[in-house]
Amino acid sequence: MSSKTNHLVTVLVVLFLIIPFVTSVDAESSHPHIVVIMVDDMGYGDPGSYNANSKIPMPHFDSLATDGMRFTDAHAPGPLCHLSRYGLLTGRYPFRAKPNQWRTQPTIAEKRMTIASLLKENGYQTAMVGKWHLGFAEDGYDKPLPGGPVDRGFQSYFGIRASTDIPPYFYIRGNRAVSPPTSRIDANNSPDWSPIQGAFWRAGGIAPDLQLKDVLPRFTDEAVEVIEQHAKSKTQKPLMLYLAYPAPHTPWLPSRKYLGSSKASMYGDFT
């Protein structure tokens, strides 16, 4: 992820969801529901709420700014996205850990407090959907993957280990691969873009049933399912959901619905 000053390294949106309770309000259920949405590599000037000349229509995003609170001063703790993720979840500077070991080992220490573990201890039901990028203890993909979200405070998880341009590509539910990356995908890039822009991804292992273009819609569906199931459960525990999209980081893979929807080419359509 770029650390240029005109880029928003992470966009963090905290929403208070209105999920009706049929039970009486007590000390536990009076806490607000929390949804943290993190996006990856989006430009500070992409949303119209931050740039009147934006070429990318984002009506839902902009409505959050209009109806809520807009922040204009934020700082990333490091030049790459896994460093920001570590800082967000732990409240610590990433140089205090070993963030670059994420490819084979967890970067968050086993008993390190996270926002998820803190909220769980205070009565929240915690869930994560999306890009983790903070490492698992990897020793093959046909066995549990320790050190991930469900071992760091989240009670449920569905997502991917890193970006959708970094193999191997496979979904994880809880601490296990939904389908191991037993197939292979060739590298790809887009003509007229730099080698690491456009529909760029690296060659490597991939789960047989995974399509990179389907990852974002799948995460949205999974997040909606988390919210709906929480509401149906009628639990008195408030919900904390961390939804970490791997976009608009490469590969830029806009769905057919959004092709031509912006004036910023395939990047804008994907964003």
Four-residue CA torsion sign, 4, 48, 56, 211: positive
Instruction: Tell whether the model's pLDDT for residue 222 goes beyond 70.
Output: yes
Q: Can you tell me which residue has the tokens 């740039």?
A: 51
Residue among 7, 60, 82, 133 flagged as catalytic: 133
- Longest C-alpha distance within the chain, in Å? 60
Mean local confidence (pLDDT), 246-268: 95
What's the distance, Cα to Cα, between the start and end of the chain in Å?
Answer: 15
Which pLDDT value is given to residue 29? 52
Q: 42 or 3, which is more confident?
A: 42
**20: confidence class by pLDDT, cuts 50, 70, 90:** very low
Residue among 81, 82, 230, 249 flagged as catalytic: 81
Neighbours of 52 (CB within 10 A): 7
Instruction: Tell whether the model's pLDDT for residue 155 goes beyond 90.
Output: yes
Residue 7's beta-bridge partner residues? 43
31: annotated active-site residue: no
Instruction: Tell whether the model's pLDDT for residue 13 goes beyond 80.
Output: no
From its phi and psi, is residue 167 left (phi > 0), alpha (psi between -120 and 50) or beta? beta
Q: Can you tell me which residue has the tokens 């980081």?
A: 249
Strands 156-160 and 125-131: parallel
Q: Can you tell me which residue has the tokens 């690491």?
A: 196
Instruction: Tell whether the model's pLDDT for residue 169 goes beyond 70.
Output: yes
Domain boundaries, the chain: 10-270
pTM, full prediction: 0.88
CATH code of the domain occupying 10-270: 3.40.720.10
Range of weakest confidence among 25-39, 63-77, 162-176, 192-206: 25-39
* Tokens representing residue 119 in the block: 């909220």
Residue 239's beta-bridge partner residues? 125
Neighbours of 26 (CB within 10 A): 9
Distance CA 48, CA 260 (A): 17
**74: confidence class by pLDDT, cuts 50, 70, 90:** confident
Q: Which amino acid is at 167?
A: P
Alpha-carbon distances of 250 from 103, 138, 163, 271, rounded to whole Å: 18, 24, 8, 11
81: annotated active-site residue: yes
**23: confidence class by pLDDT, cuts 50, 70, 90:** very low
Instruction: Tell whether the model's pLDDT for residue 44 goes beyond 70.
Output: yes
Which pLDDT value is given to residue 81? 87
